[in-house]
Amino acid sequence: MKLKQIGLLPRVIIAIVVGIALGLILPEVVVRGFETFNSIFSQFLSFLIPLIIVGLVTPAIADIGKGAGKLLLITALIAYGDTVFSGFLSYFTSVSVFPSLISQGAASEISEAHNLEPYFTINIPPVMDVMSALVLSFTLGLGMAFFNSSLLKRGAGEFKAIIAKAIEVALIPILPLYIMGIFMGMASTGQAWHIISVFISIIGVIFLMHIGLLVLQYCIAGVIAHRNPFKALVTMLPAYFTALGTSSSAATIPVTLERAKLNGVRDEVAGFVVPLCATIHLSGSAMKITACAVALMLMQGLPVSVGMFTGFILMLGVMMVAAPGVPGGAIMAALGVLQSVLGFDADQQALMIALYITMDSFGTACNVTGDGAIALIINHFKK
């Protein structure tokens, strides 16, 4: 079987296992060689993050901005509000539960696992910082939507294709090797097993949060639309399991459409809301990213203040519009916010990617099932 035929999740799991095994048996001189590779790759990742923001966010903002009508505005606001709400729900749940799962001695384990120095490194400064990239994306995206500039839109689309290809060809294939090097360093310092056990606990808590979020979404939709929330949620389960298998919101759209119509959503409303929400409504992804960020910061003894995460969650909700259509799109789009707001370095970002990919299909399933709840609400208001 070719490497490309193996999914990203299996490759990441294999990389973690192999990294731990090699870290236990290889001498320090070899592990430092992998640290050298990781150092260079982290510089490349930092260089690419602002370009990812400009390349993915600009056309996404332009595409949303060109639509007219109250229905689009209401749907977008509900989707954004739900994404932000799920982020705050994840934050408050995480700061309440995770400290009991992370032992007192775990605060500095990630930093201790990276005290092996690389033989050399190459400095690759980014062309702009993350905040400048985000402001530029909004300026260009809104300008293209307002002036309906076909030339700029075509250029933005081509630049997005370049960035998507860079992620697909240069970033995603190398990422498992980078993660392997990180866990190799952890294993060489004896910290890998404890961190893995903490990760497993975190994944279990996030899965339960996803279930709680879906129940809450359908209870709210049921009250507004005067429907039985649990019956509506059960009707949407085929969409949930389809997304669980495909890990793709876009591939699940036909099933989501069918199940939303069975819930009584009119054809024209379902045909508008479901494809749109597949692009802008990523509440499950925002919940995962927020929880993983809190967990990693707690493991390193870093502050997880409400003020810091308020800005992070509000910006994350905006960045999520750039997520669909790109491999690992949600976490890739979030890297800039993780860096600029929470101060994550390349190693922390790699651990975030590993955690996120491990639960990728569950987040996608939560996203598309929640789309059915929004469709019920929009169907009620559009008389």
pLDDT for 310 equals 92
CA-closest candidate to residue 236, choices 250, 211, 257: 257
Euclidean distance between CA atoms 331 and 8, whole angstroms: 13
pTM: 0.75
Local confidence band at 65 (pLDDT 50, 70, 90 cut-offs): low
Give the domain CATH number at 235: 1.10.3860
Dump pLDDT digits (tens) for 138-193.
788 878 877 877 888 888 889 888 887 887 787 778 878 887 887 787 776 666 66
pLDDT for 111 equals 47
In 66-101, alpha helices (H): 70-101
Euclidean distance between CA atoms 109 and 186, whole angstroms: 8
Least confident of 94-98, 212-216, 317-321: 317-321
Euclidean distance between CA atoms 20 and 121, whole angstroms: 23
Domain that residue 32 falls in: 3-381
Domain count, the chain: 1
Cβ count within 10 A of residue 224: 15
Which range has the top average pLDDT, 4-18, 219-233, 340-354? 219-233
pLDDT for 92 equals 93
